[in-house]
Amino acid sequence: DYSKSMISIAKNKYKNIKSNPEFIVGSGEEIPFNNGKFDMVCAIGYLQYFVDPDKTLNEISRVLKPGGTLIIQSYQNYPFKLPFSNQLREYLRLIYNKIKNKEYLKFSDRPYSKKELDNLLLNHGFEIKDYDYSNFMVFPLSRYFPTLYINFSEMVHREYPDKFKYFAVNYIANYILNK
């Protein structure tokens, strides 16, 4: 993770795990591992935050072994999003950080459709193996009744996996690196 405080929280949370996981501060644009180090990379809620996704995907490709697996989850473009909401949120973050005298880290918050994500990964040598949708948007249930929302979302996913895919908040996929 890029955040030292998040690494500290993770170390504390998993300090009693027998496998002794290693937590490292680093950037997804410069992953601090050797080429071909991993059989699998999980990028959950990750790619949409990078201004330059190509740079990030080049790094993931570099650290994956040939034939390695990438599990990636991304927020989808969904039909209820207001135009320019990402730009407005970015502008408000800039103002907040200036008022609080905090470092302003530019990042994206760009959702990808299934087609956009598949094409992006195909351009980086990945082939899709499997995919699914999750967390179906049912506002205002999600905000005011989270337990009901989760149960309803799981039922929709189980009973109608393809019928309501355009209302899914997340797209998760399994890709294989063809090197």
pLDDT tens-digit series, residues 12-58: 888 888 887 888 888 888 999 999 999 999 888 778 777 788 999 99
Taking alpha carbons only, the member of 139, 128, 130, 89 closest to residue 111 is 89
Distance of CA 34 to the CA centre of its chain: 23
The tens-digit pLDDT sequence of the chain (179 residues) is 777 888 888 888 888 888 878 888 888 889 999 999 999 998 887 787 777 889 999 999 999 999 999 988 877 665 555 556 666 666 776 776 677 676 555 555 667 777 888 898 899 999 888 877 666 555 555 566 666 666 776 777 677 766 666 566 666 777 888 87
Contact present, 112 and 76 (Cβ < 8 Å): yes
